[in-house]
Amino acid sequence: MDTRVDYYPTHEHQGFKFRRGRTLPFGATVVPTGVNFSVFSSAATSCTLVIFRKHEQKPIVEIDFPREFRTGDVYSMIVFDLDYEDLEYGYRFGGPWDPRSGQRFDRSKIVSDPYARVVGGRDQWCAQPDWDDVYQHRARLAFDDFDWEEDRPLETAITDLVIYELHVRGFTAHPSFGVRAAGTFAGILAKIPFLKELGVNCVELLPIFEFDEWENSRRHPQTGELLLNYWGYSTVAFFAPKAGYAATGRLGMQVDELKNLIKELHKAGIEVILDVVFNHTAEGDHRGPTISFRGIDNRSYYILTPDGYYYNFSGCGNTLNCNHPVVRNLVLDCLRYWAADYHVDGFRFDLASILGRDQNGAPLANPPLLESLALDPVLSKCKLIAEAWDAGGLYQVGSFPAYNRWAEWNGKYRDSVRKFIKGDMGVVPEIAGRIQGSPDLYYYRGPSASVNFINCHDGFTLHDLFSYNGKHNEANGENNNDGSNDNYSWNCGVEGETSDEGVNRLRLQLKKNAFCILMLSRGVPMFLMGDEMGRTQRGNNNTYCQDNELSWMDWTLAQRNGELLRFVRMMIRFRRANPVLRSNWFYQGRDYVGSGKPDISFHGTRAWAPDFSPGSRCLAFLLCRKHTQDQQADIYVAMNMHWQALPFQIPKPGERESWKIVVNTSMRAPEDIYETSEAPSLNEQEQVILGPRSMMVLIADACTRSTPGTR
């Protein structure tokens, strides 16, 4: 290689040798004897590569790109003999400063590479930055020498997933975690056994792309508490893992640490989905910092108004111009990189409807980016999940341009189930659809398009859903004006925590009802970290800035709320053991195999007579095992959301079959839920009495014999 002419420098500047580079790939790529730098700008009049030694204030050299090093709108050069480990780099772009036309070039600023794979400057979470540093978020090189051994993405069928939404830092930051590496990727390693025992097989990580926790940081006006950008929905660098989430971040080893986490999760059979934020960047609007895109090619990267301001469909100051061809390619390149180099199993797209807007902000009927992502060969086995709305009024749940690939966070499922559990009227017909996988929304797709959830990072935790009527976000310092007002919550008679045993027992029961419905629904279930053990945020439904015990997972709850945790584990096991709950076909409501029963039938307090009237708060359904391969038992589910106990007439089981009770949420442990093999038979096979606001799940299979049971 030493004899190849294209690896010899042709230019020199201040002792640094360089030559014309390769236009692709974008970013900084190690090549024999050097580093290839390539960056796009359609409107710059000059471009300078700025190189630092790590952490140093002043650059060691600034190399102007000669005119002949630009091909089209791409500047590229190879610089030789660099110390890869000690290198930080950025760019200065010259060009017009004319905000009205969308141009915001400023050569005085050093901007980061949009394709930076490692970013320094926030190496330790919450470490005070040097605010005088001329270059705050510093691009570095990444190394591709991690030993994956046999690892590969798991490609688990989406309908077999049970997704657990977790915040990397919050999962292990609480003092109760008690292990070193708290609040980091490495910290999660210690909790893999917990996740396995819980039964989830997929973790969805809140944003892990590099972001600035100090963005919009402030002191609470009354308490003085430091409020940070805790959730991270504000990307600084799309290709870089957050250094502050790595225990080895101060050593620059966040890439290895994250890859190791993914590898270990895969060994445990757990997929990894990343929450990605392509709807906006951390640069905010015209008042925000110039970190990267604004100083490189503002007009290409952002959707701008005719007079040069930033459209704000994200609610965060700016909107990424996702259907501009160059930006589209950046998104594709980024996701391909995470899929190929990090073995990520899928992506959840925050405010995904923005990805379907054109360069003027108008919704597209056939958005090129969404189509490209759906049909991309590298991403073909990745889960693609859309939060199918944005902050600009575009609501596309059920109508997101899916190309037969995209799944959606089903916000309608969330709202229906919340209303049903709290006993609202007129919800029964909708619930009947939601537990089937929402055919009204996804008829042409199947239930796999529906990610069913009742709680997520946005909104109340499950515990708080049944502990508060209204939000209590005073700790956020915005006079409780932030956060959703449409919570469909109910405090069970007391606002907030209480020692009243009756109230607490009811709350526990409602939480069990929630998990029961979630795990019995067709579609893809997802729940929020900590809901399995009753985590509370004390009524705060928008903890985006709360880096404290309000957001963190309190591991002592596993013991204190052991009954709920046990229930959730067993409900997940029940789901995984019953393929009828995980099918990707919609129920047809008819007998198409000659079993004598429809695949699904609905009932009320009387068998075969569901009550869909506005005043109804009860519904039951029967799933016939013979319509699903490998389904061993019929399943009957009765849901009584009325405040009174009610008798439910049960459909007759098959010949030589009898009903056994698996779940009864009105009972305390251990009689609230049984392993299928240990489920006791019902003494009375024709009728059960459901307690107020409770559910029962019965099974009947060909092997069942009528033996005396506990009821």
Binding site for another protein (CB under 8 A): 54, 83, 85-86, 143, 145-147, 149, 180-181, 184-186, 246-248, 251-253, 256-257, 259-260, 263-264
Contacts of 120 (CB under 8 A, 6+ apart): 54, 55, 88, 137, 138, 140, 243, 252
* Minimum CB–partner distance for residue 79 and another protein (Å): 18
* Minimum CB–partner distance for residue 338 and another protein (Å): 18
Q: Of these residues, 387, 532, 563, 599, which one is catalytic?
A: 387
Between 181 and 669, CB nearer to another protein: 181
61: left (phi over 0), alpha (psi -120 to 50) or beta: beta
Contacts of 245 (CB under 8 A, 6+ apart): 125, 168, 169, 183, 184, 185, 208, 254, 258
Do strands 346-349 and 271-276 pair parallel, antiparallel, or not at all (unpaired)?
Answer: parallel
Which of 250, 263, 617 has the alpha carbon at shortest distance from 431?
617
Specify whether the CB–CB gap between 464 and 539 falls below 8 A.
Answer: yes
Q: Of these residues, 113, 275, 350, 634, which one is catalytic?
A: 350
C-alpha dist (Å) from residue 103 to 50, 116, 267, 285, 292: 22, 23, 49, 13, 14
CA-to-CA distance for 375 and 390, rounded, in angstroms? 23
Q: Which amino acid is at 453?
A: F
CA-to-CA distance for 171 and 166, rounded, in angstroms? 7
Between 150 and 655, CB nearer to another protein: 150
Which of 396, 375, 394, 397 has the alpha carbon at shortest distance from 384?
375
Tokens of 74: 């791409």
Type and span of the H or E element at 452? strand 450-453
By CB atoms closer than 10 A (0-12, 13-18, 19+), residue 676 is middle
* Minimum CB–partner distance for residue 83 and another protein (Å): 7
376: left (phi over 0), alpha (psi -120 to 50) or beta: beta
CA-to-CA distance for 35 and 37, rounded, in angstroms? 6
Tokens of 530: 């900590």
* Minimum CB–partner distance for residue 87 and another protein (Å): 10
Q: Cα angle at 212 between 208 and 215, to 5 degrees?
A: 135
Q: Which amino acid is at 323?
A: N
Q: Cα angle at 396 between 330 and 612, to 5 degrees?
A: 150
* Minimum CB–partner distance for residue 165 and another protein (Å): 24
The DSSP call for residue 136 is S
Between 87 and 697, CB nearer to another protein: 87
Catalytic, 350? Answer: yes
Start-to-end CA distance of the chain, whole Å, equals: 81
Between 252 and 447, CB nearer to another protein: 252
* Minimum CB–partner distance for residue 86 and another protein (Å): 5
Which of 20, 210, 223, 52 has the alpha carbon at shortest distance from 118?
210
CA-to-CA distance for 268 and 113, rounded, in angstroms? 35
Q: Which residues are catalytic?
A: 350, 387
